[in-house]
Every structure is written in C-alpha cells, then in structure tokens.
A and B are shown apart, each in its own frame.
Chain A
Amino acid sequence: MAFDSVTNAKDFAKKKKANRSAKLKQCKLDARRHQWLSQVNNQERKDQVDVSGGIQVSPTHGRNERDRVVKISEMNSGNGEHDGSVQHYSDSDSSSHSRISHSCSVGGSHFSGTSFTGSGGSSRSSSSSGRSVSGIMSEEEDDDNNDDDDGCVDDWEAVADAMAASDAKQQQEQNKPFQESPSEHENVNKLNCPPEFPNSQLLEVDIPKPKAENRKAWRPDDAFRPQSLPTLLKQHSFPIKLERHSGSGGVTCAIGISTQSSCPICCEDLDFTDSSFLPCYCGFRLCLFCHKRILEEDGRCPGCRKKYEHDGITCEGNGNFAEGSSPYRFARSYSMITKS
C-alpha cells in the first residue's frame, strides 16, 4: 500500500462520491460494534504508544488535550494535516499494516492514510468512535487508548488524532487559555453551530489522546478523508452527506460541525475552503471574498466587532493555533485541493 498522494487524490475524490451512501449502513454497524469494543478495551488502551514512529501518546492527556487536538486539527482544515499525517504515517509504520488490513469495510484503498488507519490508530479510533456513539456519557472518560482489533475502522483516525494531539502539545503553552476552558469552547460551538450533532462534538472531545502533535487524523467529516475509509461515526457521516460543503474541520471554535451553507454576508454558497475558514474567535463564519473585502475596509469581524488578527495566512484566519505547523499542513492541503 504505497502511498501515492497524487493519483490517490483523484481517485479518492471520485470514490468519495460514489461510495458515500453505500458506506453509511456499514458505518452504522461498525460504529456500534466499536462502541462495544471500546468499552471493553478502554482501560487497556490507555498508555498505548507507538502506533507508528511519529505518534506519541501521552497518557496524561486529558480531555482538554483532546480538545486542543481537535481544535487544532479543525483549525488546520484537516486537509493539509491529513496529508501530512498521512505521509508521516507512511514513513513510519509498516508493521501496522497487518493490523490495518482487516479493518475495512473501506477496503482496498491505496491511500496511505488507510494503511495507517489500520495500525496504531485503529484501536484508538475505534475507541473514539465507540466513545462518540455512547457520546454523551463518555465525555468525561479520558481515553487515550488505542488498539482495538476489530475497531480497525477507526483506528487510523485515532492514530491521526494522536499525532495531531502531539502537535497540539507544542502549542499548548501558547494556547493555555483554551485548555482551561473546554466548556467555553463547547459553548461557543453551540452558539455557532446549531447543536444538531452533539455527539459529534463529544466525539471530538473524546478522541483518544493524541499520539503525535504534528499529525492529525482525518476528521470524520473531512471532505478529503479518503473515501475508502469507513466512515466512522454515523453522526458525522450523515451530516457530511447532507452538506458537502460544510466544514471539514467542523465547528468554529472547537467542536462540532459547521452547518452553515451560505455566507451570511453575501449569501453565496460556502464551499469547502470557506467552510473550513475560521477567521475569528467568536465563530462568525463567512466566505473568503467577504473576509478579504472586510479586511480592506475596517477589518472588524461582523459578529463580534473586534479587529481581525492578521495571521499572514489568508485561509487560516486567526492565529489561535498552530502557526508553525499550519503552513506546512496548509500547503499540503492546497496541493490536495488544487489537484482535486
């Protein structure tokens, strides 16, 4: 399963559309299964490290950390990170292939990401998926756990999460205030995104502690998530199906999925780039046109009336998060986008 991002990207895009609906049912069953499994395996997973070389699991990561990870990953609009993480994955672990192989209803994806999924991340993702299904109650659970044999569907994502989380660690110090207030973010989420998918929010929260800081798993609702991957969470998949353009990273500030389909300023549809663009803390989402226009004028966010902070990257908006890693991921995601 050698990774060829270029060709795979194209295929992926096609497959994505083709396979989506077919996967839903499967995913549903899978999720339930994973949930059960994750509950079994919860404790075992706690200190799982090394899915792949780059993944580090820090057992101490709490939910806050996860939140952090989630946010970072979303901030980075998923794509680039996924790319990066994918590649990273490919570099490291072939040993995990075996574990991956059985994982998939997805099956046969030549995407490198897939291969990773099967590896260290599978267990985690399963647990995370499991957690998401049981979502509400398990929010408090702190699961950094990973391996799960038949949660292979989810594992890769857990791994990716871990990687992303480890990235996030680096910025943790910078982003301390956010750590302290996950609840705020959740609240913000609720403000900005209609609480249609509370589970999804919780899922993000409950994703097993990040194993790597620089990597990020494909978010379940990420548009660029390889189609060959089983869609993890029904609650994620459904919204994806419904909203093609809706945010990959999901919710604005932290958690959840963006359900905005059109820019509130110009009423044009929000495409993928726009949806994943979050320029302001307050969570006011708008399209890139309008953002640029506003920057030319007084540069204040229409939602909260505070000046937009320049981050040097048009797409990335506010510099809440990983500025260092963002360009990297961003660039890659761009390459992904342009090619697709």
Chain B
Amino acid sequence: MKSSSTGGVGRSWQSTATVSCSGKRIQKEMRELNLEAPPHSSAGPKGDNLYHWVATLIAPQGTPYQGGIFFLDIAFPVDYPFRPPQVLFKTRIFHCNVDSAGNVALDILKDGWSPALTISKLLLALTSLLSNPDPYKPLVPGIAHLYLEDKAKHNELAAEWTRRFAR
C-alpha cells in the first residue's frame, strides 16, 4: 500500500520510484498511442531504450510542408513526466519556430509543460505547429519576418525546402 499514513512520502522512496515511475508512464503512453494514433504522426522508441523515441510527422495537406516527412528525436528525461521531453528535428525545415540546429520553440515543451500532457498531445501540437507557425515567438526571426511580410514567398521557400530536404 502506497500511503502509509500521511500524504508525503519519504524522500528515498520517491527517488527510486521516479525512474520506474517515468518508465511506467512512458509505457502507458506507448500503449495509448497504439490505440488512438493521431493522424499525420507516429512515434516509437528507438530500439530497446524506452527513453529515446523517434517520431515522424507527415506534413498535413494544405500546408506548404505537404509531401514532407519529418523525423524528430524525442528524449525523455529520467524524471518524466515532471519535466518535458526534449524534441529535436532531424529533418531540415523552413519554419520560424525551428532553428537551424533542429530545436523547436513550443510553449508546452518549456514553461507550458504539464505532467498531464502526453506524447500524443505533443505530436498533435507539433503537427498543428506545422499548420500554424507562430511568428510572434519565433526561433528564427528572419523566417517569422518573412512570414508576416510576404507569406506567399515564405510558403514558396518552405515548399522548396520540403522538396529538397524533407521528401
């Protein structure tokens, strides 16, 4: 029985429980992903390591990124879900919220993270980021600038990038 008496648990118990706790949670999310697969995306652990996942985003039709397949690295911290996973784009993308090293600027990956969020929701958020870039909090100001000023040119460049680097 978990709770001996009070709500607080001894420190030592908590720390050893953390690793298995994150592992358990990741496994549960994996099972859930099997059942309700979000459209346009999928994710799974890389080999045996439960804490290193790979995700694939199939760019939705109607976005300038359509036709592109984007691979992402997802690294779960040991104290997941209390800390957000780290997401890195492995495929080049012309996006104002993705920099030239592959880092993503997504609020739920930093301050907006909640332990109630799951990979499924994260994938949805990333897919929606493809459809709707946020030029007001850009990681690449140049691209955001272009997005706001000349959207057609931005889309054209994004499509060209997709054609060259993300097919």
Contact = CB atoms under 8 A, between A and B. Distances in A.
> Direct A–B touching in the complex (beta carbon < 8 Å)?
yes
Interface of A: 264-269, 271-274, 277, 284, 286-294, 297, 300, 302-303, 305, 314-315, 334, 337-338
B165 interface: no
Which among B7, B14, B82 has the greatest number of chain A C-beta atoms within 10 A? B7
Interface stretch (B21-29, B44-52, B125-133, B149-157): B21-29
Interface residues of B, number: 22
Given A267-B21, A288-B7, A314-B7, A303 B2 contact: no
Contacts of A287: 2
B7 A302 contact: no
B25 A300 contact: no
Nearest to B118: A264
Contacts of B1: 271
B6 A268 contact: no
Nearest to B22: A266
A268 B6 CA distance: 17
Interface in B11-27: 14, 17, 21, 24-25, 27
Nearest to A273: B3
A158 B112 CA distance: 45
Which among B17, B28, B114, B117 has the greatest number of chain A C-beta atoms within 10 A? B114
B81 interface: yes
B8 interface: yes
Interface of B: 1-3, 5-9, 14, 17, 21, 24-25, 27-28, 81-82, 112, 114-117
9 closest cross-chain pairs (CB), A and B: A302-B116, A314-B7, A288-B7, A273-B3, A302-B114, A266-B21, A265-B115, A302-B115, A267-B24
A315 B8 CA distance: 9
Contacts of A338: 5
B131 to A, nearest CB: 24
Nearest to A338: B5
A288 B8 contact: yes
B25 A266 contact: yes
B123 to A, nearest CB: 18
Contact of B21 (A268, A288, A300, A303): A268
Given A266-B21, A289-B9, A289-B17, A305 B114 contact: yes
16 contacts: A266-B81, A267-B24, A271-B1, A273-B7, A274-B3, A289-B17, A289-B21, A291-B7, A292-B7, A293-B14, A293-B82, A294-B82, A302-B114, A305-B112, A334-B6, A338-B5
Contacts of B27: 267
A82 B82 CA distance: 35
